[in-house]
Structures are given as structure tokens and as C-alpha cells.
């Protein structure tokens, strides 16, 4: 049994072959379907856990597990290291691992960089379709790193945007965002934060604001129908929105158990938290009246999103025959002999007598 | 930055090149050193967590994380599926992932099948060196699957064995064990369980006994100095030894927090549990008097062992130039542009005008 490996180049090749628009549309559709069908009895998801550290720099490495009962385990292992970009590496690096839940076989490893950006964008599109005003035209973006690119792309796939206003603490990052998103063929301009807050219909915050230094939004003079996707990668203690905004809004987490630990929901009590993303998707009509009012999608990123994007990517990889198949796991030959492959290699590369010696001698070493 | 991949064949090639004896000796030495230096302030280890299931068969998929502060994260993802061997797959399948804890980069993926068998054997050798009678000559083995092979090998590297008595519920598995371990050049014979219990100086239990069906040892007529390595892969509710044996013995877990959840220590209260493996290794003289008495190593398998074996394997892989280097992670080109590689592929494979269309068009799809 082999393991299908999709590198970053393979995922990019799939996106190039399929087109980014179709790929984003498919991830949005797959995630919508997965959310609609989600039931904890058949799909078990644990809140992610990981190592947070300050040495040598602020960072986090965590794992996000999902079991689809009797079928697969999807485990994304993902790092969040905001000091990475000046060194040429993305803030969010990761890989998604897919296991056969009938025998433990590692069926696939998929680079998680573009996949994470795609599914995080898709999640905002799914939430915005339920909660944002359908006539939304102006998108605001605060924080213009990698995740902001797919926020724009996904929201554009779901709304007739006419204008995009962006802001970043680093002016050159905001400027480069305009180049990075030229594919959108939209008027995109750097704006003061006040103008963004006052004018946008949909706002995406995608910042690396450090713990204790939020919020990144003032919350003054917002449009009454504003929908906010609070996306910035999440960390216990890190928040992007002021509690005054959250208390006026319907706040919908992607995955409640996780959002109360590291999302905007950290700032709320249990009864102040609204329905989760799967509830929104199952009954959008119940929440239609909120399209005229202030709403927040508390996006922490969760394993169902990773499953959706990896399912889409693997289906294309098989059809397009993209990727590398590795005989990764040992134990072939005799499933009860850990040395079977060693013996086979030794036997084929040396005289039988010497080979036996190479494998193991019988002299114990006492220390 | 690339990811070094060591497949099962690569690990076997390292073992063939280095020799199994030297490799086992090195893993024992590395683990001993890591245990001696282990301090929770610099090395954080979480008890493993995972998905247990009964559908379609009994199985477990779990992850075992370790952070060496400021250096690496080692994460083994491992499956335990006792119905695998008749289908030609090992009960224990897994891979070990090594991350750079300064930026989240996945530095290496190493097949975990032989590695797990090696390090589980090595752990028993380390514990036995402290707790077993140095004059031990007769090794007993109950449960003759893959893990039993490296139990024999590791114990043989540490003691002057003269005889090995083995037992398995499946007689053909016990018989095939003799062939699988012919490298040991020792008198190995299938024996009744009673004879094993009565005669052996060191006993290794390495069974897949189902939850609630233990113990696999009666505990009658044991040698007063018997040392037991209770190895069988662990599962909440699964135990191999009778509580009467545990209560007479010094019971030493590999990793206490984990052993109380899934090891023999499940059967004991906190004050009945002895020192952990790292304490044994740091102060072996303090426990020397136990070499004349009944002792148990409660081996659940823990992340420090995976780190030790992967460090040894990666050092050899680099020296021998074994393994495959993959550009696994995306995000090259521009760490803030998820589509940079897509654009590059599209630009190189189509006319500029068409390429732009392939990447993304600006037509939103409203659903």
C-alpha cells in the first residue's frame, strides 16, 4: 500500500489545471455539504492541541484531528510562526495527513499551505452567505498577509464586490496585496482604518496581532448590517475584535469548543455565543433576519475544513495523475517480522554468509 | 527547505548498512542518554491521545507529541489494529514527523514500523538493565508478534541469554517466531505458559489481548527475582498482568501520566506506582536491591523513545545519504501569496493571456 504525496507544487499544479476560481467554488461547495451532513456521532473532531512557545520566537505547532467513523482520520499538523515571512517562509506552514481508519495506513500527505488558505477563505464565504447582506459591495480587509488573499478570493466568489479597501500595519504589505490580488480585477486600494470601518459591508480581519495587543478594530461607525469574518490565526489570549462589537452582534463560531479557548468567543460567556457554522448552514432561513444586522463569524479554523479541502484536492490529483506515490510504511514481507526487509536487503547485497552477519550477530554487549 | 523522507525500505537499508546489533545498541545508548538528561522544563511531552473505535474492527489511531524547547517537535502518529496481520499489514503502523520548532517546517518523515519495534525493544533493555538480575539467562516471551522480535533482540544485547521460551495463543505464530529470530543463534523453543512462568528470569509480554480479557500471566510460581517487561500495545482497559503480581512488585512506568490511563498502572493506586524509567536511569544504584526481587516495567511507549530512535536513524541517513528529499511545503516565491506557485505554473505552461484566465477569472458565482 502506498502513500500519495502532494507537495506544494502538486497542489499548485492542480489549482493551475482546474483554475483557482473553480477550485475555490468546489471547496466552498464541499465544505457547505460537509457542514450540512456533520453529526458528532459519525464525525469526531477534537479541538486542536499543540505546543505554544516564546523561545526563540513566538510560535505554535498544533494538530487538528478528525475521525470519520469507519473511514478516515484527517490530521493536519500546522505551525503558526508570525516571524516567518521576513525569512521567506509563510506564517502558516503545515501538512494534512489522511489515514485509513480501518487499518491505520497513511493514505496521503498533502501540503497544507495553499490548502489552509483555500479552506479558511471558503469558510468565510460559507458564513458570509448566511449572515452578510446579499447586496454587499464593499469588502474591507485588515491584515494583508497570505490568508487575506483567499479571503478576498472567496468573498468575491460569493458576492458582487465593487470595491475593496485594505489596511496593514506594514504599508508595503498592504501595497503588495494589490499586486498579489490583481487576478480579482477589482478596484482595491489602501485605506485608513476609519474609512474601512465606516464603509465596508463585509470585513475580514486576518492579522497576527500579538496576545494582549488587540483589538484591531475600533468598532465605531460600523454599517448596521456589517458582517465580520474574524480570521486572524488564533492563539489563547489573542483577539481581534472589541467586546463591545461582539456583544451587539450575533457571534457564530466555526467550532465552539475551540473558539472559546482561542477565538473571539474567549471574550464572551456561554449564553452570548450564537449558533455554530454547521447550524447556520443547515438552517440558513432561521438566520436570514440577521443579514440586516451586525454579525461576526469567529473563524478559528477546524478540522472539517481541512477534510473538505483535502477531499477536493485528492479527487483532482487522482484524476489528473498528479502527485508522488511512496512506499512509505515498512513491514512488508512479513507483518510479524520487523527485520524482514533488512534481511531481504542484506541477502540481496552480500554473500549469504556475510549478509547474516550484517543483520545481527549473537554476541551480546554488556555495559 | 526540503523534507527528508525515510521510507520503510530506507530504514531497513540503514539497518542493513549499520547492522542490527549496532543499531539496537545505539538506540539503547541514545535512549539511556535522553532519559538521563530528560527534564520537563526543556522537554515537554503530552500523553498520547487518539481515536479509539470498534467500527469496522477494533482499532486506535493516536499521536504522541514531544517538544524539545527551541529545537524540534517530534510527533509520531501511530495506529494499533490487531486485525491487520492476517491481511499482510503490521498491527502497529506509523510514521514519525520531525518539525523545526523555530519556524514550523516539517524537517523529516520517518517510517515508524521498524523504528517503533526498535525503540520498544530498547526501552525494555534499559529498564531490564536496572531492574533485572544481571545473571539472568532464561528469557520468556508471551505473545510472539512483531514487537516480540525486538524484545528478544534488545534483551539479548544486554544479557548473556542461554535459552528463550515462547508462547502465543496461535501456535503457528509461536513457531514462526523461531524462524524470525534465527539471527539470535539461541536455543528458542515453544513452551507451555506454566513452564515459562516457572523458569524465566526475564519475561516480556507483548500481546494484543483484548480489553477485559487479561491477564495473560497467572503469576503462580514465579522466580523471586523475575523482571517483567509488560509491553503489549496499550489501550484503556487493556492489562496483561494480574494485580496480585503488580502489588508484590516494584512497578516502574515509562511515562506515568500515560501508564495510569492505559498501562498496567491502571490497576494501581498512585502510591503503589514506583519510579519512572527516567528516574531508574538517573539513579540505578538506588534500585539495585530490587534485582533480587519481583519488578515490572510498565511499557506503554512514549515520545522520548521515538525521539531517540529517530535521532539515531536520521544521523545515519545523512551520513549514508539514504532517503528522499521532497520540496513538500508550499509557499515558495512569496510567503504572503498563496497563489504565487499557481501563477508561476500557469505562466510557464500557457500564453500569458490564457494563463491569467486559468488562474482566476473575476466572475463571481452566486448560489
pLDDT level of residue A357 (50, 70, 90 thresholds): very low
Of A19, A75, A344, the CB nearest to B360: A19
Of B157, B183, B361, the CB nearest to A21: B361
Task: Find chain A residues with C-beta within 8 A of B13's C-beta.
Answer: 345
CB contact under 8 A, A159 and B338: no
CB contact under 8 A, A105 and B73: no
> What is the distance, to the nearest Å, from the Cα of residue B47 to the centroid of all Cα atoms in its chain?
14
| Residue range A81-111, pLDDT digits in tens | 999 999 999 999 999 999 999 999 999 999 9
pLDDT score of A352 more than 50 = no
- Spell B320-336 as b/e; 16+ CB within 10 A means b: eebbbebebbbbbbbbb
- Cα dihedral sign, B34-B35-B37-B43: positive
CB contact under 8 A, A146 and B56: no
Written as nine digits, the cell of B324 is 528522499
Task: Find chain A residues with C-beta within 8 A of B73's C-beta.
Answer: 51, 61
CB contact under 8 A, A90 and B331: yes
Task: Find chain B residues with C-beta within 8 A of A159's C-beta.
Answer: 364, 366
Confidence at residue B350, expressed as pLDDT on a 0 to 100 scale? 58
Mean pLDDT (whole number) for A60-76:
97
| Residue range B280-320, pLDDT digits in tens | 999 999 999 999 999 999 999 999 999 999 999 999 999 99
pLDDT score of B367 more than 90 = no
Confidence at residue B353, expressed as pLDDT on a 0 to 100 scale? 41
Q: Which residue of A has its CA nearest to B327?
A: A7
Task: Find chain A residues with C-beta within 8 A of B360's C-beta.
Answer: 19-21, 153, 183-184
pLDDT level of residue B365 (50, 70, 90 thresholds): very low
CB contact under 8 A, B77 and A99: yes
- DSSP 3-state of A317: helix
Q: Are A332 and B113 in contact (CB under 8 A)?
A: no
Of A104, A183, A366, the CB nearest to B61: A104
Return the minimum-mean-pLDDT range out of A65-69, A147-151, B343-347.
Answer: B343-347
Confidence at residue B331, expressed as pLDDT on a 0 to 100 scale? 84
Task: Find chain B residues with C-beta within 8 A of A63's C-beta.
Answer: 63, 65, 75
Mean pLDDT (whole number) for A323-335:
92
Q: Which residue of A has its CA nearest to B341?
A: A12
Question: How many contacts (CB atoms, under 8 Å) link A and B?
Answer: 367
Of A75, A335, A358, the CB nearest to B77: A75
Confidence at residue B361, expressed as pLDDT on a 0 to 100 scale? 42
How near does any CA of chain A get to the CA of B145, in Å? 5
How near does any CA of chain A get to the CA of B42, in Å? 11
**In angstroms, rounded to a whole number, what is the distance separating the alpha carbons of residues A276 and A285?**
15
CB contact under 8 A, B93 and A362: no
| Residue range A108-147, pLDDT digits in tens | 999 999 999 999 999 999 999 999 999 999 999 999 999 9
Task: Find chain A residues with C-beta within 8 A of B357's C-beta.
Answer: 19
Mean pLDDT (whole number) for B61-69:
97
Confidence at residue A165, expressed as pLDDT on a 0 to 100 scale? 98
How near does any CA of chain A get to the CA of B244, in Å? 31
Kindly report the number of other CB atoms within 10 A of residue A172's CB atom. Answer: 9
| Residue range B141-192, pLDDT digits in tens | 999 999 999 999 999 999 999 999 999 999 999 999 999 999 999 999 999 9
DSSP-assigned letters across all residues of B319-356: HHT-SEEE------S-TT-TTHHHHHHHHHHS-HHHHH
**Using N-to-C axis directions, what is the helix angle for B146-158 and B171-180, rounded to 10°?**
50
CB contact under 8 A, B51 and A65: yes
Q: Are B336 and A144 in contact (CB under 8 A)?
A: yes
How near does any CA of chain B get to the CA of A20, in Å? 5
pLDDT level of residue A350 (50, 70, 90 thresholds): low
Mean pLDDT (whole number) for B29-58:
95
Mean pLDDT of chain A: 93
| Residue range A186-212, pLDDT digits in tens | 999 999 999 999 999 999 999 999 988
CB contact under 8 A, A69 and B46: no
- Spell B10-19 as b/e; 16+ CB within 10 A means b: bbbbbbbbbb
**How much is the ipTM here?**
0.92
Torsion of CA B283, B284, B289, B291, to 10 degrees: 150
How near does any CA of chain B get to the CA of A8, in Å? 4
How near does any CA of chain A get to the CA of B146, in Å? 4
Closest CA to B4 of B102, B114, B106, B93: B106
pLDDT score of B69 more than 90 = yes
How near does any CA of chain A get to the CA of B272, in Å? 30
CB contact under 8 A, B113 and A88: no
pLDDT level of residue A353 (50, 70, 90 thresholds): very low
Confidence at residue A332, expressed as pLDDT on a 0 to 100 scale? 81
Of B8, B20, B346, the CB nearest to A331: B8
The continuous run of DSSP H or E covering A80 comes out as strand A72-80
pLDDT level of residue A294 (50, 70, 90 thresholds): very high
Amino acid at each position: 500500500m502506498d502513500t500519495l504525496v502532494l507537495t506544494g507544487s502538486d497542489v499548485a499544479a492542480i489549482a493551475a489545471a482546474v483554475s483557482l476560481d473553480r477550485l475555490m467554488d468546489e471547496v466552498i461547495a464541499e465544505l457547505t455539504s460537509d457542514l450540512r451532513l456533520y453529526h458528532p456521532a459519525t464525525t469526531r473532531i477534537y479541538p486542536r492541541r499543540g505546543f505554544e512557545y516564546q523561545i526563540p520566537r513566538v510560535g505554535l505547532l498544533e494538530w487538528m484531528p478528525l475521525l470519520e467513523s469507519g473511514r478516515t482520520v484527517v490530521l493536519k499538523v500546522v505551525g503558526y510562526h508570525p516571524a516567518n515571512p521576513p525569512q521567506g517562509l509563510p506564517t502558516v506552514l503545515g501538512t494534512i495527513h489522511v489515514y485509513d481508519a480501518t487499518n491505520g495506513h497513511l493514505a496521503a500527505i498533502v501540503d497544507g499551505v495553499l490548502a489552509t488558505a483555500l479552506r479558511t477563505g471558503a469558510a468565510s464565504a460559507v458564513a458570509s452567505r448566511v449572515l452578510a447582506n446579499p447586496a454587499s459591495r464593499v469588502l474591507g480587509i485588515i491584515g494583508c498577509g497570505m490568508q487575506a488573499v483567499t479571503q478576498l478570493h472567496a468573498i468575491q466568489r460569493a458576492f458582487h464586490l465593487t470595491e475593496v479597501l485594505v489596511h496593514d500595519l506594514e504599508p508595503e504589505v498592504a501595497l503588495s496585496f494589490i499586486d498579489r490580488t490583481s487576478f480579482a480585477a477589482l478596484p482595491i486600494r489602501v485605506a485608513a482604518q476609519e474609512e474601512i470601518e465606516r464603509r465596508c459591508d463585509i470585513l475580514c480581519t486576518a492579522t497576527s496581532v500579538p496576545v494582549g495587543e488587540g483589538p484591531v478594530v475600533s468598532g465605531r461607525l460600523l454599517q448596521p448590517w456589517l458582517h465580520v469574518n474574524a480570521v486572524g490565526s488564533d492563539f489563547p489570549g489573542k483577539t481581534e475584535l472589541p467586546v463591545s462589537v461582539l456583544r451587539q452582534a450575533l457571534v457564530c463560531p466555526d467550532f465552539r469548543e475551540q473558539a472559546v479557548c482561542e477565538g473571539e468567543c474567549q471574550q464572551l460567556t456561554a449564553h452570548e455565543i450564537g449558533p455554530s457554522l454547521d447550524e447556520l448552514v443547515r438552517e440558513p432561513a432561521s438566520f436570514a433576519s440577521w443579514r440586516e444586522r451586525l454579525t461576526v463569524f469567529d473563524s478559528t479554523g477546524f478540522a472539517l475544513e481541512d477534510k473538505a479541502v483535502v477531499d477536493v484536492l485528492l479527487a483532482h490529483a487522482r484524476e489528473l495523475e498528479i502527485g508522488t506515490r511512496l512506499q512509505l510504511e515498512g513491514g512488508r514481507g512479513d507483518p510479524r517480522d520487523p527485520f524482514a526487509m533488512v534481511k531481504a536487503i542484506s541477502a540481496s547485497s552480500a554473500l549469504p554468509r556475510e549478509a547474516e552477519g550484517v543483520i545481527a550477530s549473537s554476541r551480546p554487549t554488556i555495559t
